Chain A
Amino acid sequence: MAKMTMVQALNLALRQEMAKDDRVILLGEDVGVDGGVFRVTDGLIEMFGEERVLDTPLAEAGIAGMSIGMAVYGLRPVCEMQFSGFSYQAFHQIENHAARLRWRSQGRLSVPMVLRAPYGGGVRALEHHSESREAYYAHTPGLKMVMPSGPRNARALLVSAIRDPDPVIFFEPKAIYRAYREEVPEEEETLPIGRSRIVREGRDLTIVTYGAMVRPVLAAAEDLHSKDGAEAEVIDLLTVSPLDDTLFTASARQTGRVMVVHEAPRSFGPGAEIIARLVEKSFYYLETPIARVTGYDVVMPLFSREKHYLPHADRVLKAARKLLRDG
């Protein structure tokens, strides 16, 4: 196994799927000759040619809308939004058509496309380049919203997303793109979409998180263990929608104390749905109110302030200690 960054792992997924299935087509801004602004598609135009790696004009709705047509025809387009903050210009295509054509045609047509987009803060970028607005897509019936947290699961989930018969919004945590390397097997690996994972076992409290927040949460859990001797169970959603509530509701019944961590704004964020499921399914087991450590309900601050906006390990640790004290 080779140690890879998330960028390399995503590139591997694309390369292998393109080699395997000539219906897989990449398109987006600067994805060809430039290899993508984050180099996720690096080298693919050389390998597969301009026919399969399309540098498109600069228009997000165009990219998404054209992908929908390709998918309807039977191809497997993987389109890239250069930053998730620009995907709103494609939102009507995603909401009005990608998410609905299967339903509108009563199963005659389908839209097996993947819309990839780097999301999230922590890389000192410009305005619109750091936000985390997965809730828009998770709220849209007909879509799947996938958010990997590390190189290996990013690769496996992207392969699954490409093979999925429905449109998948695939948000890549750009803060993790080159943050660390992980063993990624060369041979094919997939992960089921719509399934969460326990990434750290613990009996004292449950932390539900996903994407770039898994790392600071795990760091906080280690601190909690070494400094306080308490054990946090950490659940990585991997897919935000359809939301797999089986593991976190079961875990909450064991620990009775739950925290949700995401960098998206708090109100109406994924945490609100996670907590609603906990209230519906695990309410009588809860020892304390559920904690939320999230981004604030503000425009994602410019980078001089982003470290105060983004949930970090220390904030998670403090919230965990409060949960353990209460009740």
Chain B
Amino acid sequence: MPRTTITIADKIEALSIVDAKGVVDKQLEPSMPDDLLLDLYRAMVLGRRFDERLLALQRQGRIGTFPPTSGQEAAHLGAVAAIKEDDWMVPAFRETAAEIWRGRSLESVIIGLNGYNEAATVDPPGTTLPVSVPVGSQMLHAVGIGWAARYCKEDKVVLTFFGDGATSEGDFHEAMNFAAVFQAPVIFLCQNNQWAISIPRSKQTRSQTIAQKAVAYGMPGIQVDGNDVLAVYSATAEAVERARAGQGPTLVECVTYRLMMHTTADDPRRYRSDEELETWKAKDPIPRFEAYLQAKKLLTKKKIAAIGEAVQAQIQAAVDNAEAQMKTMGDPLDMFAHAYAETPPHLAAQKEELAAELAAGGKEGADG
């Protein structure tokens, strides 16, 4: 047998449309309605300001630990804007602005970050899954949902998010492989934010890009400037179109950066330099999109200020509203709810046990 060469893809596309200064590549500029552009801008500003407010609330002890999203707004909002409302979104946990885009209220986020399950019921039902904490594990659900949609002959695609760290998980591999084998209509959106807590992207994988991993699974992959909302939108929209046409999944790697900590329990100064942070601050997705929209005459300084004020007012109202709502939440007995469709006898008994303890109000019962 001779030793021969098998030709596989040896190139991966990289896409950037608006540069860090806000200058657009006219050839690549997607055709997007003005309303959508402005909605995206507003959502990005809301995401950033909300993140900052959440950090303040956390430092004041008014919410628990949370994973900030600052710096990654373009990556998750650009993607989610490319799917329809009745498509599915399967998030990890650093896509808060995208969840809000999909209809999750700020109140729900605040309530959830205060450890109330009630957060899940604050918003109307939709086709967005709750956040998934175990890294990479949610991607397989996206494959199942996508497969099911196709089986039911419903025109729906699934957008699932994960980070660079998740690409080391076995579930990433299994999800990519299953999706490709079954040609499931799934868009795998990697928010490569360079850090998995303290592990840099270079120690996560020896691959030159994350996008190239798609090649091994037999699906298209593309790397995009994740801080360029137009690039993310364009690449995702292409992937969505392919998925809708029955051409299966796509991997979209968004190169971005986590400007804040992994969660509020983390101190990034232990593992990364101020210089690096400054480099990425210069690539911030919001100012460049702002500059682009200004050049396009869609935004003025006055309008920017008005949006900023409106967003702050929205956040303040949500904080007030959430804090008021939480006063009536947290019945301890609700921990027994929704374990099963019907509460089995042993759980009913345990619920009674806790109810009796609560009724006794800390006093020792007759049988104590």
Contact = CB atoms under 8 A, between A and B. Distances in A.
Nearest to B334: A106
B341 A75 contact: no
A68 interface: yes
A102 B141 contact: no
A73 B152 contact: yes
Contacts of A72: 129, 141, 144-145
B137 A92 contact: yes
A104 to B, nearest CB: 5
B280 interface: no
Interface string A221-232: 000000000000
B298 interface: no
Nearest to B124: A108
B6 to A, nearest CB: 21
A141 interface: yes
Nearest to A95: B134
B134 A243 contact: no
B181 interface: yes
B146 A69 contact: yes
B130 interface: yes
Nearest to A54: B182
Interface stretch (A55-63, A127-135, A154-162, A207-215): A55-63
Interface string B226-246: 000000000000000000000
B368 interface: no
B130 to A, nearest CB: 5
A206 interface: no
A65 B140 contact: yes
Interface residues of B, number: 42
A59 B134 contact: no
A31 to B, nearest CB: 14
A59 B337 contact: no
Contact of A57 (B134, B152, B177, B345): B177
A75 B170 contact: no
Contacts of A153: none
Contacts of B90: 69
B148 interface: yes
B323 to A, nearest CB: 20
B171 interface: yes
B117 interface: yes
Contacts of B137: 65, 92-93, 96-97
Interface in A58-90: 59, 61-62, 64-75, 77
Given A57-B177, A102-B338, A106-B117, A69 B148 contact: yes
B132 A65 contact: no
B36 to A, nearest CB: 28
Contacts of B60: none
B143 interface: yes
A62 B120 contact: no
A64 B171 CA distance: 11
Contact of A103 (B117, B151, B344): B117
B151 A62 contact: no
Contact of A59 (B120, B139, B177): B177
Given A65-B144, A165-B341, A57 B117 contact: no
A194 B344 contact: yes
Nearest to B132: A97
Q: Which residue of B120, B146, B147, B182 has the most chain A CB atoms within 10 A of its CB atom?
A: B147
B338 A65 contact: no
A73 B148 contact: yes
Nearest to B346: A242
A65 B141 contact: yes
A106 B147 contact: no
A104 B125 CA distance: 13
Contact of A69 (B121, B141, B337): B141
B303 to A, nearest CB: 37
A65 B341 contact: no
Contact of B170 (A54, A61, A194): A61
B337 A70 contact: no
Interface in B306-357: 337-341, 344-347
A51 to B, nearest CB: 7
A149 interface: no
Contacts of A141: 339
Contacts of B181: 56-57
B175 interface: yes
A73 B149 contact: yes
A166 B144 contact: no
A61 B118 contact: no
Given A65-B143, A108-B125, 5 more contacts: A69-B142, A93-B140, A106-B120, A142-B339, A242-B346
26 contacts: A56-B181, A57-B178, A62-B171, A65-B137, A65-B141, A65-B144, A65-B174, A65-B175, A66-B144, A67-B144, A69-B90, A69-B146, A70-B145, A72-B144, A75-B148, A92-B134, A93-B171, A97-B137, A97-B141, A104-B120, A107-B121, A107-B338, A142-B339, A194-B344, A242-B344, A242-B347
User: Closest 10 A-B residue pairs measured CB to CB?
Assistant: A69-B144, A65-B140, A73-B148, A62-B174, A242-B344, A69-B141, A165-B341, A106-B120, A66-B144, A70-B144
